[in-house]
């Protein structure tokens, strides 16, 4: 059986998706997370290796400035942008850090305007954003994105004026920010929170040159909404940026996961620029988890330790005969490994396999039954976790199946 039997089946996209990873900005805004300068540089290097083409950084505190310099010194293939508020001092900070791109984040919804600047009119607010965008793009010569914070709750009549104004001021890309995760992927969903509708409307009614989708995961739809934006851009936009974070880390429920969007684009939509790079997805996840202090859930899709773990009798029996029975693609494709574990649901098949693996001898049915009963007794007496390999070896030693000095792995 070949992986092409199931994947690369959809019609090719008529747009170029570009991954714009914001792990080192939005990701580390997650409570309790941080990354030192050397770790940030290593993360940037790993993101470069998996095919990310743009990353976003903070650049205000001294550790962030040092990280920006270390990343610059690596001369990576990816583009590096500084995240800014709509104030000229932030633009100056990005320039001082040697950055050649910025993303200017600014609200576009009345909810934010009334909460943050109740004394200002929309015209005053817009004039300031235009002034800062012109300063970044024309005075400082920076490639400039503008992020429409809370786009999915914004009045479209104002938002399109906002987009046209920043486009005329020199912005090359507008980011649709689904700030509270209420975006809808359905092509029939209307503005403001219909993602496909917004992608189409921006093309038809504004002068901006490119768009980006930045989805939050409050409804669990961030990846879905990101892919929906890419699909909606197909045939009408030459390129579309996807703003993601590795492992989905970020504020509240986090963001669309870089690794999920990447693998979907590769396997389902045949974006072949990721070919040969997916094997580094697991290692990248492990490093980012350790570097930031984020505990990667073991059942995390693609990169979790249990992504290819099998314990129940039905599953292990199937996988031992043919891994395709319970695995969607080989674990090696994403740098993961297959794990066959012993636990409450384990049957005779996996027990026999593990005994053979550890002892080098195929056990008879009576021996297998004895071990199965011993394992079931452990769980009947309150055990919950799967048995670690050394614990299973101990069971085999007690039953005289393995000698006391056996050190097989």
Residue 240: both structure tokens together? 């579309």
User: Residue holding tokens 């993961």?
Assistant: 336
Phi, psi (5° rounding) for residue 56? -125, 135
Residue 57: both structure tokens together? 């950084």
Distance CA 79, CA 6 (A): 34
Model pLDDT, residue 74? 98
CA-to-CA separations, 193 to 14, 183, 187, 239, 272, in angstroms, rounded? 24, 5, 11, 21, 31
Phi, psi (5° rounding) for residue 240? -145, 130
Domain covering 3-292 assigned CATH 1.10.10.10 in the classification: no
Model pLDDT, residue 312? 85
Distance CA 27, CA 52 (A): 15
pLDDT tens, the chain, 409 aa long: 799 999 999 999 999 999 999 999 999 999 999 999 999 999 999 999 999 999 999 999 999 999 999 999 999 999 999 999 999 999 999 999 999 999 999 999 999 999 999 999 999 999 999 999 999 999 999 999 999 999 999 999 999 999 999 999 999 999 999 999 999 999 999 999 999 999 999 999 999 999 999 999 999 999 999 999 999 999 999 999 999 999 999 999 999 999 999 999 999 999 999 999 999 999 999 999 999 999 999 999 999 999 999 988 888 889 989 999 999 999 999 999 999 989 988 888 899 999 998 999 999 999 999 999 999 999 999 999 899 889 999 999 999 999 876 555 4
The pairing of beta strand 309-310 with beta strand 239-244: unpaired
Model pLDDT, residue 367? 94
Distance CA 19, CA 15 (A): 13
Model pLDDT, residue 298? 96
Model pLDDT, residue 389? 87
* Residue 278 DSSP symbol: G
CA-to-CA separations, 192 to 112, 162, 317, in angstroms, rounded? 15, 14, 49
Model pLDDT, residue 404? 76
The distance in angstroms from the start CA to the end CA of the chain is 30
Helix, strand and coil in the chain, % to nearest 5: 45, 15, 40
The boundaries of every CATH 3.20.20.70 domain in the chain are 3-292
Residue 140: both structure tokens together? 């400082």
Stated as kind and residue range, the H or E segment containing 344 is none
Model pLDDT, residue 317? 86
Question: pTM for this structure?
Answer: 0.94
């Amino acid at each position: 059986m070949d992986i092409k039997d199931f994947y690369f089946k959809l019609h090719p996209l008529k747009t170029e998706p570009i991954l714009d990873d914001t792990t080192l900005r939005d990701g580390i805004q997650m409570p309790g997370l941080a990354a030192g300068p050397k770790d940030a540089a290593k993360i940037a290097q790993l993101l470069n290796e998996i095919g990310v083409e743009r990353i976003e950084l903070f650049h205000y505190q001294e550790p962030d400035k040092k990280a920006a310099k270390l990343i610059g010194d690596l001369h990576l293939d990816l583009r590096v942008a500084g995240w800014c508020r709509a104030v000229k001092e932030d633009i100056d900070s990005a320039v001082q850090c040697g950055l050649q791109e910025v993303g200017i984040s600014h609200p576009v919804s009345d909810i934010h305007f009334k909460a943050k600047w109740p004394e200002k009119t929309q015209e005053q607010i817009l004039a300031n954003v235009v002034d800062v965008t012109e300063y970044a793009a024309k005075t400082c010569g920076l490639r400039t994105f503008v992020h429409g914070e809370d786009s999915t709750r914004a009045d479209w009549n104002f938002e399109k004026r906002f987009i046209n104004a920043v486009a005329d001021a020199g912005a090359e890309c507008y980011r649709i920010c689904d700030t509270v995760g209420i975006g809808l992927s359905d092509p029939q969903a209307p503005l403001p929170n219909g993602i496909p509708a917004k992608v189409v409307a921006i093309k038809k009614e504004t002068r901006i040159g490119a768009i980006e989708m930045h989805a939050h995961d409050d409804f669990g739809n961030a990846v879905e909404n990101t892919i929906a934006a890419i699909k909606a851009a197909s045939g009408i936009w030459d390129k579309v940026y996807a703003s993601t974070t590795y492992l989905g880390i970020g504020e509240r429920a986090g963001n669309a996961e870089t690794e999920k969007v990447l693998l979907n684009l590769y396997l389902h939509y045949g974006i072949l620029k990721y070919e040969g790079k997916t094997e580094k997805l697991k290692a990248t996840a492990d490093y980012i988890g350790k570097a930031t202090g984020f505990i990667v859930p073991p059942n995390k899709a693609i990169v979790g330790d249990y992504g290819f773990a099998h314990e129940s009798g039905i599953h292990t029996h199937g996988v031992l005969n043919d891994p395709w029975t319970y695995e969607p693609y080989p674990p090696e494709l994403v740098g993961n490994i297959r794990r066959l574990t012993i636990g409450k649901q384990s049957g005779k098949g996996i027990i026999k396999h593990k005994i053979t693996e550890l002892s080098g001898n195929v056990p008879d049915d009576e021996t297998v039954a004895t071990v199965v009963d011993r394992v079931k007794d452990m769980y009947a007496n309150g055990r919950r976790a799967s048995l670690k390999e050394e614990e299973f070896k101990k069971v085999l030693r007690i039953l005289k199946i393995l000698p006391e000095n056996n050190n097989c792995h």
